Amino acid sequence: MTATRWEPPDPRQLPEWRAELLDYLSSDVATTTMRGALSAGRCTIVPTVPGVDASAESIGAILLTRSEHDRLSKAELYYATPDMTALALAAAATPPTERMTLRRLPSENGLIVFGEPIGGYTEDVAAVFAGTVAGKSTAPTLITTPIVAVSWSTWSPQAVTLDQGSVRWTFRGQGRAGALPPDFRGVWLTFWSPRGMFSGLAPETEIATMPDGTVITAGTIDATTAPHGPVLGWDNEMLLREGAAFGAAVPDTTALWSHVLYTAWQLMAHDGKNQWAEVEDVPRARAGAKRDRRQGITGSGAVRIVRVHPGRRPSPKAAAEDAEASTGRREPQWSCRWPVRPYRRNTCLNPRAHQDGGCDHEDRIVPGHIKGPEGAPLRTGSTVHLWDRQPAAEA
């Protein structure tokens, strides 16, 4: 059978998805799951409270789930269409050249769901089940987990306080570890994947054998877990420090996914002749808005649908050909949508002060695929792609 692919939602579903996430994050199940992630070393940012009469994993799980709940309740909601996702991935092929600046954020708190995965990673089932009662894997099966959403908020260590004592924050990952300084200021990113870790496998795939000989299949696991809880599941998190430089990132890591998110923010911020995106606001229904208020949600509840600007948009045929080739479990590998990738230009915002170092620089995304006068069709060999809102076919 064909592996299950990521199917993006109707953008109008995002407020309900957020409500489900908030309910889940308030549950004992979420705290227990986060405690397990901390124990397994899957968390990048780890809070501890010295002197508290509880295990480090227990108090850390409570702090992380409560903090995530608080961030999501304040978040503005965004949906990046498949073409917008592909554009962000194309431009993010090279790291941002400007230093991380908070003015790039489209809102102080946000949750964006992408129409295509912005990345993913592959794990061996044997490693997933190591140390559990079903530790015997019956096949060398690999699981691919797509990353399809990111939430964010501005953050500093002082953002979380407890009456029981001061919270200490440490980070670990990619060969580094250490304490976060009290004056840290930046953005907290949380990466989300579709729940149901085995949904990318055929249901009859044998995963493991229990001590009594019972065979566990992918379908059995997902039938048990998928119907309960939200569509999205917490995967990992990271911090972007204000003023820090972006460097080359290791594939299939939070650092690489953060490049895609930051590039999407850059594309959304460009205006005028440099405009890359258009945004449609879909308001929250009145009944849903009342539910949001009862749940303590302070974000607007409206969904901002982010599309590629009509003047930059590929034809439906080109997008459809790339979509057909996509696995839906990893970032798309396009060949038609963006024949020549957009590229970055590091632009000085105050050339008069450039010589003495008193200027400021920012990235501008340049449409490397457009040749000739603005608005002219793109020529690649004998094929002409018409770049308007929704061309019926290629010329």
pLDDT surpassing 60 at residue 8: yes
Domain boundaries, the chain: 11-385
CA dist., res. 293 & res. 52, Å (int): 34
Q: Is the dihedral of CA 277, 280, 281, 284 positive or negative?
A: negative
CA dist., res. 6 & res. 194, Å (int): 8
Whole-model pTM? Answer: 0.84
The 10s digit of each residue's pLDDT in 262-320 is 999 999 998 888 899 999 999 999 999 999 999 999 998 999 999 999 988 888 888 88
pLDDT band, very low/low/confident/very high, at 119 (cuts 50, 70, 90):
very high
Q: What are phi and psi of 3, to 5 degrees?
A: -65, 145
CA dist., res. 293 & res. 282, Å (int): 18
Q: What are phi and psi of 192, to 5 degrees?
A: -125, 145
- Looking up tokens 């290791």 gives 250
The 10s digit of each residue's pLDDT in 155-208 is 998 877 666 568 889 988 666 778 899 889 999 999 999 986 666 677 777 777
Count the residues in the chain: 395
Diameter over CA atoms, the chain = 76
Buried b (16+ CB within 10 A) or exposed e, 91-107: bbeebbebebbeebbbb
Tokens of 356: 């003495």
pLDDT surpassing 60 at residue 370: no
CA dist., res. 90 & res. 116, Å (int): 13
Q: Are 40 and 162 in contact (CB under 8 A)?
A: no
Q: Is the dihedral of CA 353, 356, 361, 366 positive or negative?
A: positive
